[in-house]
Chain A
């Protein structure tokens, strides 16, 4: 199984809502990533988990809260978002290693904040 799944595919939320994005992989990868992609822009790294521990937080606002409950799951909890947070949120996973590894991406969650 070489698939990364993300749910939901689409999400519309108000600025006072709390929601969560979910990502799952069963490839045995021990590195997992959240990216944010605005229209016509490249994906931008938000968070990296390595061996279920947060390794990188790219100065992401606290209204985004990542969680890695186990080696297969990655969540992104959303609270009090702003309209400018509307974007495609991509999850990825890879083997953890020092030589650079292929990242497998999910199809993304398209988030709209009203």
Chain B
């Protein structure tokens, strides 16, 4: 599977502001997933967007997917200190397997200051 590349590597904002992070990938996908990891903990799945979808929402999260540009963005609106975490994207390659092999990029470290 291919690795996503997140940008920026680090993002520091104030509580209440919006945070946008981007993910680029190289080859065709059938889905792309975003995960969050609080310091030293397990990963939490945020959103899965399929290749035939352009936008998806979940609470304060909005994910977009542009397959022509091979990129995705994650927007967190009205950020909170509890959103401080590392965010990873994981592109899912097109093609059939009986499991979802994920390759995580280096991630974006988001710090939200109270």
Contact = CB atoms under 8 A, between A and B. Distances in A.
Interface of A: 4, 31, 33, 41-45, 48, 50-51, 55-56, 88, 90, 92, 94, 96-108, 110
* Interface majority SS (helix, strand, loop, mixed), chain B: loop
Contacts of B57: none
Interface of B: 30-31, 33, 35, 40-45, 48, 50, 88, 92, 96-107
Contact of B100 (A42, A51, A100): A100
B106 A42 contact: yes
B69 to A, nearest CB: 20
B99 A43 contact: no
A88 B50 CA distance: 30
B99 A94 contact: yes
Given A42-B105, A100-B92, A102-B33, A31 B43 contact: no
24 contacts: A31-B99, A33-B99, A42-B88, A44-B104, A48-B99, A51-B98, A55-B97, A55-B98, A56-B101, A97-B100, A98-B97, A99-B30, A99-B31, A100-B30, A100-B33, A101-B48, A102-B48, A103-B33, A103-B102, A104-B45, A105-B42, A105-B45, A108-B40, A108-B41
B45 A90 contact: no
A75 B97 CA distance: 23
B42 A102 contact: no
A24 B55 CA distance: 34
A100 B31 CA distance: 7
Contacts of A90: 42-43
B107 to A, nearest CB: 6
